[in-house]
Structure 1
Amino acid sequence: MRIIHFQAALAILLLMVCSAPAQELDVAYLEYPPYMYTEDGRFEGILADATRQVMDEAGIDADYKVLPAKRILTLMMAGEKLCAIGAFRTPGRESYAWFSDVTYQNSPLAVIHRSSDERFAEKRSLIGILDDPDLVMGKMYGYSLGSMLDHEINMRVRRVREVTADLQQFMRMIEIGRVDYAFFSPEGIRGLMATSGTEPGSLEWFIPEGMPEGQTRHIICSLSVPEDVRRRINEAVNKVEFPRWQDVIN
């Protein structure tokens, strides 16, 4: 009789576990093609399909919402229960956020500039570009280019213009000379050129000598997201196959 009662209780427990509702969670992303963007009201991009697989595998009912980078980090510092995708891991962020294992590694960054700017015919190294006192660098406000490049920029670049416009507008700012150059991921440059409204051939890009390896991207969550949820996300990250930059560029 006790064995029957035990088996019945176990069956009920298993049924409860299997039928438990998925954990609801807000998952933020940037409008940052080609990695992540909104198309027809839906979260899309290089990281989209694999991210959805991760959340499904982890038993999470994800509500994907687009937010600016600065807003995402501010909400996490305030203790909001929130995760975001495609984040760079930096020492400052580790004080208030949790990071998954690697989901994607970027290609080394490229510098994009006006085709007519002859200064770049001679300046092909990263240090040569950063050290030029006459060049104005453009940088998305609140966005990290990776800890190593962020450090070099802070130490070397004398003229930085932080930009709050979207990426297409940013490209047009380079074209008309509001800034002289900016760093972009090669994975997305061609697409941005095609959608930004810039004149064909007006911009050029190359990967400078001495550019560090591409930064790794991660799913980032505020520490208020339950530890069990974070653990399940990380386990799913290690099961799901994310794309590689070599395949994306080629």
Structure 2
Amino acid sequence: GGGGGGMATRGPGETKIETDRRRIHEKMARLRREIAEMKSGRDLKRRERRRNSVPSVAIAGYTNAGKSSLLNRLTGAGVLVQNALFATLDPTVRRATTPSGRSYTITDTVGFVRHLPHHLVEAFRSTLEEVAGADLLLHVVDGAHPAPLEQLASVRAVIRDVDAAQVPELVVINKADAATPAALAALAEAEPRHVVVSARTGQGIDTLRALLEAALPHPEVQVDVLIPYVQGRLVARVHADGEVLAEKHTADGTLLRARVAPDLAAELDAYART
């Protein structure tokens, strides 16, 4: 709340400066609590996604690297694309599907900037914890930027900082339509695990989707089942949450060979082909 420091809010002998300081400390304490609550909410959602064995992908990169546009390309959703430092402070988690129909979640993280002011670091870190819980990191870099390698290094330093260095990384060199061939070639040589795209024109997006799918973890249980047609929703679940290796429609139902998570395998057990 605003309002001046009228006598009503002051303790005896409290000066205007002390009142302001107290208010600021109260506000900081409230914001810290809110960040902590956001974190526990995110942990809960993350555990839920883990349990449902939906693979997760995180996007990181500098502000203006084109992360939001890329997210829109992959999910087909209209996110507000803003040219602002903390346009994406609360990480947005969306669902997307691979070319073969597997579901995964994709999380945008806050845009990086150099020399982040100290008091913003905690808020910043909280959004980056999403990266540590991901199965794959799409590290987006602006191919037309004058110093892309420095930007990659700065982002990686922070990723190490939030204990996410073990997450497999795919470097997405964006803005191919605006970058010079020489700049793209130099970046590609420096980063062997890369894909060149333009979120604006759509160039390279199909290659990115294929690489992303190949990089996702594979469900561990192989099942061989005959699912009656009345259980169509189970077939749909195998497609969304598992990896279908073979599918055939027979008189008795859908024959499926697939890899799925243990909980789904248990549900499918009743339909196992002996």
Q: TM-score, normalised by structure 1?
A: 0.26
The structure with the greater share of residues assigned to helix is: 2
Of structures 1 and 2, the one scoring higher in RCO (CA 8 A, sep 6+) is: 1
Q: TM-score, normalised by structure 2?
A: 0.25
